[in-house]
Amino acid sequence: MEFYGLNDMVRAGCQDCEGCFACCKGMGQSVILNPCDGFLLAKHLKTPLEALMGNRIELHVEEGIVLPNLLMTGEEERCVFLNEKGRCSIHPFRPGVCRLFPLGRDYGSGEIRYFLLENGCKKENRTKVKVRKWLDTEDIRKNEEFLLCWHSFLKDVRKKAAEERDFAKEAALYILKTFYFTGWPEETEGFYSQFSSRIEKGRADLGI
């Protein structure tokens, strides 16, 4: 498998997804939201994330942890944020999973590396684009630091949950309340700063 860094070129360019929304339907519960995704959705929709439960997002169990994901609806199981023209209505603040596709992330080396998903995008004749440009993420380095921190936190929660049966429920409620249903500062920089504080307190409170 070939791995890419932020400044590498990868064949992911899909002509702005013209005439296609194949990756925006039938995705089940795979469009998982991390706290930054939740922050951006709540900020731009001007609605607390908790108020989006049931009609925009749902909860599911992901490797023993309860996490939110975008809803798919109708016979085609289309993303709830697809408009009547098959275009994303939240594209400027779409979740990280959507920004990433058709790339995947690898955390194994202690830093984030990217790889191209086999048979991911159905578009033919894709063009090469720099990974950094494809992700189109504000302050990408801080975002990567956040992702590494969140990945490590969830990994440690899962490990303890596997060893202590009663811990899983406690952790699920704590994570949802602390990282999703409690408001964040207005600006992105403030989010990252407060996330660091919450994750440090979370580790202490959960004993991980």
- pLDDT one-digit tens code per residue, 57-111: 999 998 888 999 999 998 889 999 988 888 889 989 999 999 998 899 999 878 9
* Average pLDDT, rounded, for the chain: 90
Summarised one tens digit per residue, pLDDT across range 149-197 is 999 999 999 999 999 988 999 999 999 999 999 999 888 889 999 999 9
Domain-by-domain residue ranges, the chain? 9-203
Retrieve residue 126's tokens.
């894709």
pLDDT value for 110: 85
Q: Which of 199, 180, 154 is nearest to 39 (CA)?
A: 180
Is the confidence at residue 16, as pLDDT, over 80?
A: no
Written as one string, the DSSP assignment of 45-66 is HTS-GGGGBTTTEEEEEETTEE
Q: What are the residues whose beta carbons fall under 8 Å from the beta carbon of 74, sequence distance 6 or more?
A: none
The pTM of this model reads 0.92
∠ CA 131-120-91, nearest 5°, is 60
Cβ atoms of 194 and 35 within 8 Å: the answer is: no
Residue 203 above 70 pLDDT?
A: yes
| H, E, C per residue of 101-119 | CCEEEECCCCCCEEEECCC
